Amino acid sequence: MSRGFWTKTVFIFGVSLAAAFSLVPFLLFVSSAFKTQTQVTSIPPQWWPDFSLKFFRSALKNYGIMHYLVNSIIVAGTTTLVTISFGAFGGYALARLKKRWAHLILMGILACAMFPQIAIAGPIWRFLQMMGWLNTYQGLVLPYVALTLPLAIWILTLFFHEIPRELESASLVDGCTRFGAFIRVVLPLSTPGLFTASILCFIYAWNEFFLALLIMTDPARQTMPVGIALFQGEHTVPWGEIAAASFLTTAPLVLMVLVFQRRIVTGLSAGAVKG
């Protein structure tokens, strides 16, 4: 056997193992979501479900997960929009700033992202209470933006940095204003970075549990993760409904990543300058 064969075998084995390790719990709840009540509790566990949609119906009807989903979409969507807008401006400035200063500021931003959530939870709650923003969308979006902004700025700064300055110079000479150059040349060329940052921000806001639980005490405003966690009653744990709701929470994310994956085309700027 050649060395290449073994390297390849070991590689494939390793990758499969890693994938299985991450995927099994996920597949387990996907399978549970499509089971019937008896199948969920059957011993030994049954892997292949009957593809019953009972749990979905029950989750939608009895637990009203639709409005959690709407809340999640509003909160995560707004967070992403605001974060990316601010992140783009901030990142562009940092990418074009003198190296030493930009580095210092980027480090400062990174330091902000290092605070443990539990340490800032108290101050955030007090602040939101003062503003009267508890149980409001903006009350949750605000801390989310603050928490995702460092990551967005970092990703976007790196992307803007890669865009040749000559392209901006060319657009300025062609008659753009500085802002026009940013909108018409820099941003379109940074789409991969914008999508990457957006997806990461969206996922963060979509999955976040702790702050959502703290800030949204009114069930009408709760997001999906909090909603699901509060499914269980005093005596019952509705596993099937939880699985179905979790599936509905996760599916949009997976779908989104799959759809945008194609848009995250690297090397979009190939051909701009010599190469």
Partner 1 sequence: MASLEIKNISKRFGKVVALSQVDFHVEDGEFCVLLGPSGCGKSTLLEIIAGLTHQDEGTVFIDDRSVTNLSPRERDVAMVFQNYALYPHMTVAQNLGFGLRMRGMPSEMIGKKIMETARLLGITELLDRRPKELSGGQRQRVAMGRALARRPNIFLLDEPLSNLDARLRVSVRLELKKLHERIQTTILYVTHDQVEAMTLGDKVVVMREGKVHQIDPPQIIYNKPADTFVATFIGSPMINLFKGIMTEQEGRFILKAEDFHLEYVHGDLHVGNGELEIGIRPEDITVSHEPAKGLRATVEMVTDVGAEKYIHTKLGSTSLTAKAAKEESFQIGETISLGINPSHLHFFHDGRRI
- On whether the CB atoms of residues 228 and 207 are closer than 8 A, the answer is no
The least distance separating partner 1 from the CB of residue 96, rounded to whole angstroms, comes to 13
By CB under 8 A, which span of 42-50, 85-93, 122-130, 172-180 interacts with partner 1?
172-180
The least distance separating partner 1 from the CB of residue 184, rounded to whole angstroms, comes to 8
Nearest CA-CA partner of 72 in 197, 195, 198, 208: 208
Is residue 175 within the footprint of partner 1 (CB under 8 A)? Answer: yes
Give the footprint of partner 1 on residues 213-272 (CB under 8 A): 268-272
- Could you write out the DSSP letters of every residue in 111-153? HHTTS-HHHHHHHHHHHHHHHT-TTSHHHHHHHHHHHHHHHHH
Is residue 273 within the footprint of partner 1 (CB under 8 A)? Answer: yes
Is residue 173 within the footprint of partner 1 (CB under 8 A)? Answer: yes
The least distance separating partner 1 from the CB of residue 125, rounded to whole angstroms, comes to 45
Residue closer to partner 1, measured from CB, 167 or 200: 167
Q: Which residues contact 264 (CB under 8 A, 6 or more apart)?
A: 192, 195, 196
Candidates 42, 174, 230, 232; binder of partner 1 (CB under 8 A) is 174
- On whether the CB atoms of residues 87 and 149 are closer than 8 A, the answer is yes
Candidates 74, 105, 170, 264; binder of partner 1 (CB under 8 A) is 170
Q: How far is CA 170 from CA 20, 190, 218, 271, 274, in A?
A: 50, 17, 53, 15, 15
Where along the sequence are the contacts to partner 1 (CB under 8 A)?
164, 166-167, 169-177, 180, 185, 188-189, 268-274
